[in-house]
Amino acid sequence: MSTLTLTRTVAAAPERAWQAWTDPAELAAWWWPQWPDTTYDLDVRVGGRYRIHSAGAAFGISGEYTRVDRPHLLAMTWVWHNAETSPDAAPDEVEIEFTAEGAQTVVTVRHTSAEELQGSGTEQGWNAVLDRFARR
């Protein structure tokens, strides 16, 4: 498994940033505005499901919320659905953390791939290399 971590500081308090992630009407404003036909169905509670899907682009994401700790942490499983995705594909895991910093919020995304890497002990190496490569 590999985890990708990214952070961004946004000009809003955590509660506000949380709302932008969990209110379907607001999510629609910034998630995939390039696909205006995208639908956003969010049942934001532990065990609740979400589905973000664009018929026009013929793909989307769905999953289940595993942690809902407003406004600090939102965690969910994550499965792409498109023509290429196997229905048995193991879900990725995504964690969004909101940390106050003055009047702003540091948003940290941790996206963990479901893919297994053979050969133990090399995960740290993979993560270091993959992060650097992917940045290019």
Partner 1 sequence: MVKYPWEPPPALRDSASERLDAQAHAIASAPRRAVLERLADGPASMTDLSDLLAVTLPAVDKHLRVLMDAGLVTKSKPGRTTSVALRPGGLTELVEWSARTRLLWTGLLDRLSDHLEADGAAPPPTAPVTRSPATDTPTTDAAATDPQEHR
Residues 9-68 that bind partner 1 (CB under 8 A): 9-13, 15-17, 19-21, 23, 25-26, 28-31, 33
Least distance in angstroms from the C-beta of 67 to partner 1: 18
**Where is 81: in which H helix or E strand?**
strand 73-81
Backbone angles phi, psi at 5, to 5 degrees: -125, 130
- Cβ(79)–Cβ(89) under 8 Å? yes
Residues 114-133 that bind partner 1 (CB under 8 A): 115, 117-119, 121-122, 125-126, 128-133
Binding track, positions 91-110, relative to partner 1; x by CB under 8 A: ----------------x-x-
Least distance in angstroms from the C-beta of 116 to partner 1: 10
Is residue 86 near partner 1 by the rule CB under 8 A?
Answer: no
| The 3-10 sheet, strands edge to edge | 3-10, 104-112, 92-101, 73-81, 59-69, 49-54, 39-42
Is residue 83 near partner 1 by the rule CB under 8 A?
Answer: no
Using the minimum distance from each CB to partner 1, give the nearer residue, 66 or 113. 113
Least distance in angstroms from the C-beta of 103 to partner 1: 10
The secondary structure of residue 64, as a DSSP letter, is E
Q: Which amino acid is at 17?
A: A
Burial of 61 (0-12, 13-18, 19+ CB in 10 A): buried
